[in-house]
Structure 1
Amino acid sequence: MIDPYRILGVEFAASDETIRSAYLAAIRESPPERDRERFESVRAAYEAISDRRRRLAHQLFDHSPPTLDDLLSAVSSDFVPRPPSENRLLRVLGAK
């Protein structure tokens, strides 16, 4: 699973009430009838961090690697590829 804080749009130090209100807002934006996949990801994110105990367990024990879909969704829509700088090219090529 990708970062549940990112899915819900809350900060790492958010309170239980803030997380719950973000969850309810996300559910209203994407009900299961309209977007089942988004609904399930929001629900799973909320279940992972819904209270202090679960946040701690997620922080300590969730080391699952992200899927390709998780990685692609993490790239924001404003991402623009650009050519590498000359210094980066030289470093990658091993030039001194």
Structure 2
Amino acid sequence: MNSPYQILGVTERASDTEIKQAYLQLVKDNPPDRDQQRFRQIQQAYETIKDDDSRLRYALFHWPGIEFDELLGHAFKQEGVTKPMPADDFLKLLSTISIDKTLAKNFIKPS
């Protein structure tokens, strides 16, 4: 599965302007009447990373191959989860998330 960055052809450090320009060029090259599925994929990618808040949300909550609800189920030992994840393993998994400093500045406000 391609990330929104790969779909739009931009780096993870791209600015809002660069992302929007890439999106507009792709929409121009892939109009909905030509390939509606590709057009939707481009739109979805843009909505996912169009601004700092969206990119932070994507960085925090998107883990390829992991269903977030299943992860929460393991963490909180909800019913229906057959093998709860040990707390140490859950914390190790969470610690693998890397957040770009420019994105983190919007998330962590100085006191």
Q: Give the shorter-chain TM-score range.
A: 0.5 to 0.7
Query: Aligned residues, how many?
Result: 66
Shift of 1:12: 0.7
CA RMSD of aligned residues (A): 1.5
Flag as ranges the 4+ runs of structure 1 deviating above 3 A.
none
1:5 corresponding residue in structure 2: 5
Greater displacement, 57-66 / 10-19: 57-66
Amino acid at match of 1:34: R
2:31 corresponding residue in structure 1: 31
TM-score by length of 1: 0.65
Q: Percent identity, please.
A: 44
Classify the secondary structure of the residue corresponding to 1:2.
Answer: coil
1:47 corresponding residue in structure 2: 47
Higher relative contact order (CA 8 A, sep 6+): 1
Provide structure 2 residue ranges, at least 5 long, that are not aligned to the other structure.
67-111
TM-score by length of 2: 0.56
Provide structure 1 residue ranges, at least 5 long, that are not aligned to the other structure.
67-96
Amino acid at match of 2:25: A
